[in-house]
C-alpha cells in the first residue's frame, strides 16, 4: 500500500527522533531547573548571613524564613552557632550534587536512546530508498552522515539544547535577584549581554558555512578510504598503492586545512567572547565596590551580586559557544534531513494482490516498446519489444554498453520505466501495478559481480531462510558445481567469507551466488553474465545441471559467450540499445549477422587454444 512520504523540517525531524525518550529529556530539564534554583539560593543564604547575622542589618527574606529565624533566637543565636548555617549550606550543596547526578544520568540515557533512534531510523529509511538513489550518492558520504553527523545531532540535542534552556533560566533568575538588590548596577551589568549576542550572531553564518565544507570533505575522505579498503586487492594487483596514498593525502591535507581555518575563526570567536565577559566582571567588581562605599549596596548584597553576575555572564559567554555548536549541528541536521526526506520506493495504492502477482509470474514476459535512459536525452534502450515465453530460455548477446543488464534492472523494477516509454508485463500484468516485494520474490537474479556478506558460506547460500536445512543448501550448491569446493574448505559450509567475498575466487563467488539464487526457487531466473569467471568445462557442466533442475522456470541468460547460449530456445542480439537480431541459436549461426560473426571469432579462438 502506498504510504505518505514525510517531508521533515528540522524541528519535526528532531521530534521524530525523540519519540520514546522525551520523558528522559523532560526529567533532565526539570533537574536542570532545580540545579539552577539551588545555585541561586546559596548566594542568598550567604548574603543574609553576612548582613543579618554577622552584620547588624535586617533579615530580608520570605516571611516563613524570617519567622523561623526569629523563633530560633534571631541574629544573636545564629552568630553564636554559625555551624547551623554551615549545615544549611552543606545540605543544600548535597541536594544540588544529587540533582546534578540525576541530571547527568538521565541526560546520558536520553542521549543514547536518541542515538539509537537516529541510527535505526536512518538505516531503515536508507534500506527503502530506490536503487537510483544509491547510485547517485557515494557510500562513504552516506556512512559519514549516519555516524559523525548523527553523533553531532545527539550531542546538540542532549547537551546544547539543555544548555540553552538552562541559560535562559539562569539569566532570568540572575536578573531577578540582581534587580531586587540594585536596579542601576543590574542595568549596567546587562550592557554586555546584547553585545555578546550580536557578536555571536555575526559569526554564526561564517562558522556554519565552514562546518558545511568540512562535513562535505569528510564525506569525500571517507569515500576514498572506503573504496581503497574494499578494493585493496585491485590496488595492490596494479601497484597503485603510491597513487592512492597520494590521493588520500591530498584530500586529507585539504580537509585538515579547512579545519585549521575554521579553528582560527573559532579561536577569535571564543577569545573575544571571553574578553568581553572578563571586562564585564571587572567592571562589576569596580562599580560594586564604589556602590558599597557609598552605602548603596551592603557587603552581603555585594557578595551575592558578584555571584549572580558570574551566573549571568557565564551563560552569556556560553551562549556564544552554544551558537557555534548549533552551527555544526545545523549542518549535520540538514545532511541527515536530506536522507530522511529522500522519497522511498513505493507501490501503487491500487497494486494488484500478492495472489494475482504470483499467478502472473507463470505467464509470458513481454517488453512492449520499452525505451529508457539513466539520464535525460541519453537513451540506453531504444524501443525494445520482445516476448519471453513461460518456461522457455531466452539468451541475450551483445557488446558492453548495449543495454543487456539494463533490461534486467527494469524487469526487476530496480529502475522504473518513465511514463510513455513503454511497459513490461508478466502474465498480462504490468509490473508497475505489482508490489515490488511480490515481483522480486518471484525473480531470482545472479549478477556478473555477485555480492557476498561477511558470514559463513552456508549462511550466504541460505540467506533467504535462517532455518534452511543444510541438505537443501548443499543441493543448490551441487547444481552450481560449488559443493565439492566448499567441502574441501577446512570448516566446510561454516567457513567465514571475507568482506564482499574477498576470500573466494571470482568463479567461486559466482557459483555461490548461483546456489543462493537457486534456493529461492523462483519462477523467473536471470543469469547476468554470471558464468564469466568460470572455465568453459565448468560452465557447460553448470548449464547442463541447471537445465535438468530448473523445471518450468523461465530463464534469461545474458552472456558474452556464444556457447553459454547454445541451449537457449531463443536468442536476441543487442547493439547500441536496440535488438538487431532475433531467432534460435541455429538460425542465427547462419544468418550472416553479428551473432554469426561473434560465433566464428569465438569458435576459431577455441580451436587455436585447443591446438
Contact between residue 53 and residue 78 where contact means Cβ atoms under 8 Å apart:
yes
318 with 364, same domain: the answer is no
257 with 399, same domain: the answer is no
The enclosing H or E element of 444 equals strand 443-446
Q: How far is CA 255 from CA 140, 226, 409, in A?
A: 15, 16, 37
Q: How many whole angstroms separate alpha carbon 465 and alpha carbon 445?
A: 17
Contact between residue 426 and residue 556 where contact means Cβ atoms under 8 Å apart:
no
238 with 150, same domain: the answer is yes
Inside any domain, residue 475: no
Distance linking the first and last C-alpha atoms of the chain: 61
Inside any domain, residue 504: no
Quick one: 41 exposed, middle or buried, by C-beta within 10 A (0-12, 13-18, 19+)?
A: middle
Q: How many whole angstroms separate alpha carbon 360 and alpha carbon 380?
A: 28
- Give residues with Cβ within 8 angstroms of 210, minimum separation 6: 258, 261, 262, 265, 327
Question: The domain spanning residue 242 has which CATH number?
Answer: 1.20.1560.10
Q: How many whole angstroms separate alpha carbon 193 and alpha carbon 320?
A: 11
Instruction: Work out the average pLDDT over 551-561.
Output: 84
Domain edge (last residue) among 340, 369, 388: 340
Task: State CA 100 to chain mean position distance.
Answer: 33
Q: How far is CA 206 from CA 196, 226, 261, 379, 519, in A?
A: 16, 31, 11, 43, 57
Domain edge (last residue) among 340, 365, 386: 340
248 with 291, same domain: the answer is yes
Quick one: cell of 518? 537457486
Q: How many whole angstroms separate alpha carbon 589 and alpha carbon 350?
A: 46
Q: How far is CA 9 from CA 125, 128, 333, 344, in A?
A: 16, 20, 10, 17
Question: The domain spanning residue 369 has which CATH number?
Answer: 3.40.50.300
Q: How far is CA 273 from CA 168, 175, 269, 313, 330, in A?
A: 18, 20, 6, 10, 21
HSE (side-chain half, CA atoms, 13 Å) at 128: 18
- Predicted confidence at residue 5, as pLDDT, reads 61
Q: What is the pLDDT of residues 154-170, one digit of tens each?
A: 888 877 777 777 778 87
Q: What is the pLDDT of residues 10-58, one digit of tens each?
A: 888 888 888 888 888 888 888 888 888 888 888 878 777 777 777 766 7
Query: DSSP state, 53?
Result: I
Domain of residue 245, residue span: 10-340
Inside any domain, residue 447: no
Residues recorded for the chain? 611
Name residue 579's beta-bridge partners. Answer: 574
Considering just the CA atoms, what is the radius of gyration of the chain in Å?
A: 36
219 with 308, same domain: the answer is yes
Domain edge (last residue) among 294, 315, 340: 340
Q: How many whole angstroms separate alpha carbon 404 and alpha carbon 593?
A: 18
Q: How many whole angstroms separate alpha carbon 228 and alpha carbon 236?
A: 10
Band the pLDDT of 610: cuts 50, 70, 90: very low
pTM (2 d.p.): 0.70
259 with 210, same domain: the answer is yes
Q: What is the domain count for the chain?
A: 2
pLDDT over 90 at 590, yes or no: no
Q: How many whole angstroms separate alpha carbon 555 and alpha carbon 526?
A: 6
Inside any domain, residue 40: yes
Name residue 592's beta-bridge partners. Answer: none
Q: What is the pLDDT of residues 109-124, one digit of tens each?
A: 888 888 889 989 999 9
pLDDT over 90 at 291, yes or no: no
274 with 233, same domain: the answer is yes
252 with 283, same domain: the answer is yes
Return phi, psi of residue 51, to 5°.
-85, -45
Q: What is the pLDDT of residues 343-374, one digit of tens each?
A: 988 888 889 999 999 999 999 999 999 999 88
Inside any domain, residue 595: yes
Instruction: Choose the weakest-confidence range: 93-107, 182-196, 461-475, 476-490.
Output: 182-196
Amino acid at each position: 500500500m502506498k504510504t505518505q512520504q514525510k517531508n521533515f523540517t528540522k524541528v519535526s525531524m528532531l521530534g521524530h527522533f525523540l519519540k520514546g525518550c522525551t520523558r528522559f529529556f523532560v526529567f533532565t530539564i526539570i533537574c536542570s531547573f532545580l540545579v539552577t534554583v539551588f545555585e541561586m539560593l546559596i548566594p542568598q543564604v550567604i548574603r543574609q548571613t553576612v548582613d543579618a547575622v554577622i552584620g547588624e542589618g535586617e533579615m530580608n527574606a520570605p516571611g516563613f524564613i524570617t519567622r523561623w529565624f526569629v523563633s530560633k533566637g534571631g541574629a544573636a543565636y545564629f552568630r553564636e552557632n554559625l555551624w547551623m548555617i554551615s549545615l544549611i549550606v552543606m545540605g543544600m550543596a548535597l541536594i544540588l550534587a544529587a540533582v546534578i547526578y540525576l541530571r547527568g544520568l538521565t541526560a546520558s540515557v536520553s542521549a543514547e536512546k536518541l542515538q539509537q533512534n537516529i541510527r535505526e531510523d536512518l538505516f531503515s529509511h536508507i534500506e527503502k530508498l530506490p536503487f537510483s538513489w544509491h547510485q547517485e550518492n557515494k557510500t562513504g558520504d552516506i556512512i559519514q552522515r549516519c555516524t559523525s553527523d548523527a553523533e553531532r545531532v545527539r550531542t546538540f540535542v542532549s547537551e546544547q539544547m539543555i544548555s540553552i534552556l538552562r541559560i535562559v533560566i539562569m539569566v532570568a533568575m540572575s536578573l531577578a535577584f540582581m534587580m531586587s538588590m540594585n536596579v542601576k548596577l543590574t542595568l549596567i551589568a546587562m550592557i554586555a549581554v546584547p553585545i555578546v549576542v550580536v557578536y555571536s550572531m555575526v559569526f554564526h553564518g561564517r562558522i556554519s558555512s565552514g562546518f558545511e565544507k568540512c562535513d562535505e570533505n569528510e564525506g569525500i575522505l571517507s569515500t576514498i578510504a572506503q573504496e581503497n579498503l574494499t578494493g585493496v586487492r585491485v590496488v595492490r594487483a596494479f601497484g597503485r598503492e603510491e597513487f592512492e596514498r597520494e590521493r588520500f593525502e591530498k584530500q586529507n591535507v585539504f580537509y585538515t586545512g579547512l579545519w585549521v581555518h575554521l579553528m582560527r575563526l573559532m579561536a577569535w570567536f571564543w577569545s573575544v567572547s571571553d574578553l568581553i565577559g572578563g571586562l564585564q566582571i571587572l567592571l562589576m567588581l569596580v562599580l560594586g565596590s564604589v556602590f558599597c562605599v557609598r552605602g548603596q549596596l551592603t557587603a552581603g548584597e555585594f557578595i551575592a551580586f558578584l555571584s549572580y553576575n558570574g551566573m549571568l555572564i557565564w551563560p552569556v559567554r556560553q551562549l556564544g559557544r552554544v551558537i557555534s555548536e548549533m552551527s555544526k549541528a545545523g549542518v549535520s541536521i540538514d545532511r541527515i534531513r536530506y536522507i530522511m526526506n529522500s522519497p522511498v520506493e513505493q507501490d501503487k495504492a491500487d497494486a494488484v494482490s500478492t495472489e494475482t502477482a504470483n499467478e502472473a509470474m507463470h505467464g509470458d514476459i513481454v517488453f512492449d516498446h520499452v525505451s529508457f535512459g539513466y539520464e535525460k536525452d541519453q537513451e540506453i534502450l531504444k524501443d525494445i519489444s520482445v516476448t519471453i515465453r513461460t518456461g522457455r530460455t531466452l539468451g541475450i548477446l551483445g557488446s558492453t554498453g548495449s543495454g543487456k543488464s539494463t533490461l534486467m534492472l527494469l524487469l526487476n523494477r530496480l529502475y522504473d520505466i518513465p511514463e510513455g516509454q513503454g511497459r513490461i508485463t508478466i502474465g498480462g500484468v504490468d509490473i508497475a501495478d505489482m508490489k515490488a516485494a511480490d515481483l522480486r520474490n518471484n525473480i531470482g537474479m545472479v549478477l556478473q559481480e555477485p555480492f557476498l556478506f561477511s558470514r559463513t558460506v552456508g549462511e550466504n547460500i541460505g540467506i533467504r531462510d535462517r532455518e534452511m536445512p543444510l541438505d537443501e543448501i548443499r543441493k543448490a550448491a551441487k547444481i552450481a558445481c560449488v559443493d565439492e569446493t566448499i567441502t574441501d574448505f577446512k570448516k566446510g559450509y561454516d567457513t567465514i567469507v571475507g568482506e564482499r567475498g574477498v576470500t573466494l575466487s571470482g568463479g567461486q563467488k559466482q557459483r555461490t551466488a548461483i546456489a543462493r539464487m537457486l534456493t529461492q526457487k523462483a519462477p523467473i531466473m536471470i543469469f547476468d553474465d554470471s558464468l564469466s569467471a568460470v572455465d568453459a568445462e565448468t560452465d557447460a557442466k553448470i548449464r547442463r545441471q541447471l537445465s535438468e533442475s530448473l523445471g518450468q522456470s523461465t530463464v534469461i541468460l545474458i552472456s558474452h559467450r556464444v556457447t553459454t547460449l547454445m541451449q537457449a530456445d531463443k536468442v536476441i542480439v543487442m547493439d547500441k540499445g536496440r535488438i538487431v537480431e532475433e531467432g534460435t541459436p541455429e538460425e542465427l549461426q547462419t544468418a550472416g549477422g553479428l551473432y554469426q560473426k561473434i560465433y566464428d571469432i569465438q569458435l576459431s579462438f577455441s580451436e587455436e587454444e585447443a591446438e
